[in-house]
């Protein structure tokens, strides 16, 4: 049994899994439920200064289904928490008392310096372990520059992050970044310069999930009109892994990673690419807090099987193997190897190679796929589309 | 058959003529369609006698393009919804399904039924354009699946087609050998309507040899397709078959088809009914009568369970519905009083070496005769052709009395073709439709060669 506890920004956590800033962390009851299941902490649904109206619109979510499975991606036009800062303070106090070993990370968003600093001070006083700042919610237009996110400007990021850190003092501050920037390393460096302790990669990806073909309204549709939304779920994991690894390779800063993590193997990938903690949102919203048990079980078995004693031992282990395309040196001459004992003769590899790759696969009299090694450069398409586990290998 | 749909509960199915398996829900259908691997050169398609583009229609269903999906089905089969219900898919398309190698076959029949049902319930309309009208006229005799299949594909090619049938309704064997809870009349009617919409004319109450004759038709039509089917039920050839209370499957199934729910029937309900036979039609007769009030049903069959020609799933259903089966038993006489059935005399059988059908030959056990009291007897031991239909026609027959056809399905009379069960013996509807499709292209070639 490996040690699943970790240290993050100088604080000990029972496990590295945090409830992300979502409806699953918006009030006392729901966070308590999550903690009872075993979550290591919670990033609260983002709160702002008092008096600011939160004009929520419904319906606020639409999923993309793929091959019969729901929510490959989930779009939301949700905004920040509707709860008053007074209430959030109370929630922090109660939870700190009842769950002293769990990380309480309120998430905040403000406009003016006084707003940011007031929020930080009040929440730390209430017992917050860390503060997360949303510099990057793609939904809505709360802010000075409608449509523009704070986290898209290195200069603005540094300035505001510094305000927050000045107010937070020794309490760790995490700045949540958007993936929709030209150079996320530049933004992470700005956070580093501000004195903040960590970044959170990534916020939901601004996108347009679809259009209602009957009414022509983009989705989700609010009385016949739609707008851009924040996209989450398994579909954004590759973007999250890219942002995480770019920051991890280039900036010496803590990282709380989030974006499409739904399984234990997803979680391991996040750690291997340098994540200190992993936040999970959409998978909880889809399957409930219990998904943690499945993730912990898989992570634990992986660590045991590979002979690691703790999550910290695997942190960043994949980073030395991540290079540029120029850095890829090919020595082996791979080919597609098809195991006829496993082949079910669907012939999808044949048609994929024929119409989508190198025409290296033909069918023999028994409809079994035969690879022409001279034509096959080992591109990997056939192995990617084969429906049988382990039937095609590239080696 | 890979069944997803939930079978009606015992009480629901036994007290109604509702379909035993409801059509799939949208979620069930989409989930199942997404399991399809979309194989290249799909073996399921090879297993379909009419060669429906199965991966194509399933992919369109998965994308919720129901109309496009139905278009692919009806392109190859005018009886898309009928076949979705009654084809033995487990021996055809589903037998070949490659998803079987991963877990279990796709429920192709139920998916086909789902798509076609959406057309029938009016979710969309499909219509095919006739590319080029031809001058030739063709008569099809028999409005069963084979004849209507031939008419449909001939009309596609632009020929003018008239279909003649001796009954007042189209559908042929679909009506008189299947109960409505397996194939509702409304479904047959909707499919026939689709064929008519394409421009096929249907002429009812026209029995060959009585109201219509080949020599007259030959004057008016450029080709004739005989799709006569096997419209007579075999008799046992034993004493007592002319007693009141002896019936054949068409008396039972076609009659009860008209009932919306099980009600008393002066001929068929009340009392004990013995059904003789071990095929699907015998099962259907027993199961249909079992639904009528105050009726007890027992099947008498001369071989054992293993050697029954009925599909095992059908036999199980019948047994579950409370019908008893006496295996290894053969009737030797139907007994009556004052011209009415009062019982049957039976004899026990034993199985010996295989006969020409490959199944063990049943022979009687001497001295094992006994009598079962009953009120009615249904004889469901197989179908045969109606000898009267062709008795006055000058068509060449084999020694055993079968119609002789050449490789192009043409009879000894030029321009007269014959298809379906009358040629092949009893097969399923989709085989008859396939022979209709084949004869259509043969007739096209026949006209082409005549032009030269």
Contact between chains at A351 and B31 (C-beta distance less than 8 A): no
What fold, for B137-231+385-451?
Answer: FAD/NAD(P)-binding domain (3.50.50)
Distance of CA A69 to the CA centre of its chain: 20
Q: Is B294 helix (H, G, I), strand (E, B) or coil?
A: coil
Closest by Cβ to B31, choosing from A68, A345, A363: A68
What residues pair up with A19 in beta bridges, in sequence order?
Answer: A42, A280
Q: What are the distances in angstroms from CA B29 to CA A343, A386, B95? A: 27, 24, 19
Task: Grade residue B267 by pLDDT with cuts at 50, 70 and 90.
Answer: confident
Burial class (CB in 10 A: 0-12, 13-18, 19+), A87: middle
Q: How far apart are CA A195 and CA B234, in angstroms?
A: 96
E strands, chain A, are 6-8, 11-13, 17-19, 41-43, 61-66, 69-76, 103-105, 107-108, 131-134, 173-177, 198-201, 205-207, 229-232, 254-258, 277-280, 336-338, 361-363, 369-371, 392-394
Quote ipTM for the complex: 0.82
The pLDDT of residue B358: 87
Q: Is A166 helix (H, G, I), strand (E, B) or coil?
A: helix
- CATH class label, B10-120: mainly alpha
Closest by Cβ to B40, choosing from A69, A344, A347: A347
pLDDT at A143 over 60: no
Kindly report, residue by residue over B323-344, the tens digit of the pLDDT: 999 999 999 999 999 999 999 9
Residues of B in Cβ contact (< 8 Å) with A347:
39-41
Output the six-digit token pair for B305.
């369970």
The pLDDT of residue A241: 98
Shortest Cα–Cα distance, B89 to chain A (Å): 19
Domain B233-382 falls under CATH 3.50.50.60: yes
Size of the A and B interface in Cβ pairs below 8 Å:
36
pLDDT at A228 over 50: yes
Which chain A residue has its CA at the smallest distance from B27's CA?
A: A68
Mean pLDDT for the stretch of residues B53-70: 96
Residues of chain A with CATH 3.30.70.20: 336-394
Using a CB–CB cut-off of 8 Å, the residues of B that contact A are 30-31, 33-35, 37-41, 43, 62, 98, 101-102
A386 catalytically annotated: no
Q: How far apart are CA A386 and CA B277, in angstroms?
A: 48
Mean pLDDT for the stretch of residues A299-322: 96
What CATH number should be reported for the domain whose range is A336-394? 3.30.70.20
* Largest separation between any pair of C-alpha atoms in chain B: 70
Task: Name which of A285-299, A308-322, A334-348, B305-319 the model is least confident about.
Answer: B305-319
Task: Grade residue A110 by pLDDT with cuts at 50, 70 and 90.
Answer: confident
Mean pLDDT for the stretch of residues A198-212: 97
Residues of B in Cβ contact (< 8 Å) with A67:
34, 62
Shortest Cα–Cα distance, A339 to chain B (Å): 14
Residues of B in Cβ contact (< 8 Å) with A351:
40
Q: Is B212 helix (H, G, I), strand (E, B) or coil?
A: strand
Residues of A in Cβ contact (< 8 Å) with B67:
none
pLDDT at A146 over 60: no
* Domain range list for chain B: 10-120, 137-231+385-451, 233-382
One fold for both B137-231+385-451 and B233-382?
Answer: yes
- b/e map A124-137, b = 16+ CB within 10 Å: bebbbbbbbbbbbb
Kindly report, residue by residue over B152-205, the tens digit of the pLDDT: 999 999 999 999 999 999 999 998 889 999 999 999 999 999 999 999 999 999
The mean pLDDT of chain A is 94
Q: Is B242 helix (H, G, I), strand (E, B) or coil?
A: coil
Kindly report, residue by residue over A352-395, the tens digit of the pLDDT: 999 999 999 999 999 999 999 999 999 999 999 999 999 999 99
More confident residue, A330 or A219: A219
* Largest separation between any pair of C-alpha atoms in chain A: 77
Output the six-digit token pair for A278.
């992993």
Domain A6-321 falls under CATH 3.20.20.70: yes
Kindly report, residue by residue over A27-85, the tens digit of the pLDDT: 999 999 999 999 999 999 998 876 667 889 999 999 998 887 889 999 999 988 889 89
The pLDDT of residue A262: 96
Shortest Cα–Cα distance, B310 to chain A (Å): 31
What residues pair up with B59 in beta bridges, in sequence order?
Answer: none
């Amino acid at each position: 049994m490996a040690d699943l506890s970790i240290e993050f920004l100088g604080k000990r956590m029972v496990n590295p899994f945090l409830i992300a800033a979502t409806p699953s962390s918006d009030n006392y009851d729901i966070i308590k439920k999550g903690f009872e299941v075993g979550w290591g902490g919670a990033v609260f649904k983002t709160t702002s200064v008092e008096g600011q109206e939160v004009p929520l619109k419904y319906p606020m979510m639409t999923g993309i289904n793929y091959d019969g499975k729901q929510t490959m991606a989930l779009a939301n036009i949700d905004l920040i928490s509707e709860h008053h800062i007074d209430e959030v303070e109370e929630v922090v106090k109660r939870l700190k008392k009842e769950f002293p070993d769990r990380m309480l990370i309120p998430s905040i968003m403000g406009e003016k310096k006084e707003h940011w600093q007031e929020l930080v001070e009040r929440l730390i006083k209430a017992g917050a372990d860390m503060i997360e700042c949303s510099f990057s919610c793609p939904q809505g237009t709360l802010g000075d520059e409608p449509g523009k996110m704070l986290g898209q400007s290195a200069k603005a990021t540094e300035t505001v992050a510094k305000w927050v850190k000045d107010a937070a003092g020794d309490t760790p501050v995490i700045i949540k970044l958007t993936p929709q920037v030209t150079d996320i390393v530049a933004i992470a460096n700005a956070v580093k310069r501000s004195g903040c302790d960590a970044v959170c990669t990534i916020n939901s990806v601004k996108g347009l999930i679809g259009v209602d073909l009957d009414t022509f309204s983009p989705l989700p549709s609010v009385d016949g009109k739609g707008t851009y939304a924040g996209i989450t779920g398994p579909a954004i994991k590759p973007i999250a892994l890219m942002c995480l690894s770019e920051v991890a390779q280039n900036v010496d800063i803590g990282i709380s990673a989030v974006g499409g993590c739904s399984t234990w193997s997803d979680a391991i990938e996040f750690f291997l690419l340098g994540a200190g903690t992993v936040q999970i949102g959409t998978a909880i919203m889809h399957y409930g807090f219990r998904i943690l048990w499945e993730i912990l079980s898989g992570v634990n078995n992986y660590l045991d099987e590979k002979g690691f004693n703790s999550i910290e031992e695997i942190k960043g282990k994949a980073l030395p193997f991540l290079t540029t395309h120029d850095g890829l040196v090919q020595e082996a001459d791979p080919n597609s190897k098809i195991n006829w004992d496993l082949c079910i003769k669907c012939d999808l590899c044949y048609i994929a190679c024929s119409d989508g790759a190198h025409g290296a696969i033909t069918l023999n009299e028994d409809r079994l796929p035969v690879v022409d090694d001279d034509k096959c450069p080992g591109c990997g398409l056939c192995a990617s589309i084969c429906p049988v586990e382990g039937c095609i290998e590239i080696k | 058959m890979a069944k997803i749909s939930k079978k009606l509960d015992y009480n629901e199915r036994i007290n109604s003529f509702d379909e035993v398996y409801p059509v799939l829900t949208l979620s069930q259908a989409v989930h199942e369609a997404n399991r399809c691997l979309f194989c290249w050169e799909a073996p399921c398609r090879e297993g379909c006698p009419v060669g429906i583009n199965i991966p194509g229609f399933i992919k369109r269903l998965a994308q919720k393009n129901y109309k496009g999906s139905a278009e692919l089905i009806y392109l190859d089969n005018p009886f898309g919804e009928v076949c979705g219900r009654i084809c033995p898919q487990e021996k055809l398309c589903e037998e070949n399904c490659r998803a079987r190698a991963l877990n279990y076959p796709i429920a192709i029949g139920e998916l086909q039924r789902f798509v076609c049902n959406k057309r029938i319930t009016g979710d969309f309309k499909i219509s095919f354009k006739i590319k080029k009208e031809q001058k030739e006229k063709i008569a099809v005799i028999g409005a069963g699946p084979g004849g209507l299949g031939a008419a449909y594909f001939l009309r596609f090619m632009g020929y003018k087609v008239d279909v003649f049938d001796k009954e007042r309704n189209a559908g042929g064997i679909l009506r008189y050998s299947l109960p409505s809870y397996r194939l509702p009349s409304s479904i047959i009617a909707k499919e026939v309507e689709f064929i008519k919409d394409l421009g096929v004319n249907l002429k009812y109450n026209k029995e060959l040899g009585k109201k219509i004759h080949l020599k007259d038709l030959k004057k008016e039509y450029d080709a004739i397709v005989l799709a006569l089917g096997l419209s007579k039920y075999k008799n046992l050839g034993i004493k007592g078959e002319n007693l009141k209370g002896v019936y054949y499957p068409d008396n039972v199934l076609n009659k009860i088809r008209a009932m919306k729910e099980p009600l008393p029937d002066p001929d068929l309900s009340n009392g004990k009914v013995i059904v003789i036979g071990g095929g699907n039609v015998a099962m259907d007769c027993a199961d249909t009568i079992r639904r009528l009030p105050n009726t007890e049903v027992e099947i008498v069959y001369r071989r054992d369970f293993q050697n029954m020609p009925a599909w095992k799933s059908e036999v199980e259903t019948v047994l579950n519905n409370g019908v008893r089966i006496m295996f290894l038993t053969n009737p030797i006489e139907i007994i009556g009083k004052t011209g009415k059935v009062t019982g049957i005399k039976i004899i026990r059988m034993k199985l010996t070496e295989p006969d020409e059908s490959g199944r063990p030959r049943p022979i009687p056990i001497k001295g094992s005769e006994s009598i079962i009291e009953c009120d009615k007897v249904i004889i469901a031991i197989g179908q045969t052709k109606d000898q009267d239909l062709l008795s006055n026609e000058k068509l060449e027959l084999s020694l055993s009395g079968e119609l002789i056809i050449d490789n192009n399905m043409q009879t000894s009379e030029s321009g007269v073709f014959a298809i379906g069960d009358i040629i092949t013996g009893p097969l399923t509807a989709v085989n008859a439709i396939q022979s209709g499709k084949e004869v259509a292209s043969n007739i096209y070639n026949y006209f082409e060669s005549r032009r030269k």
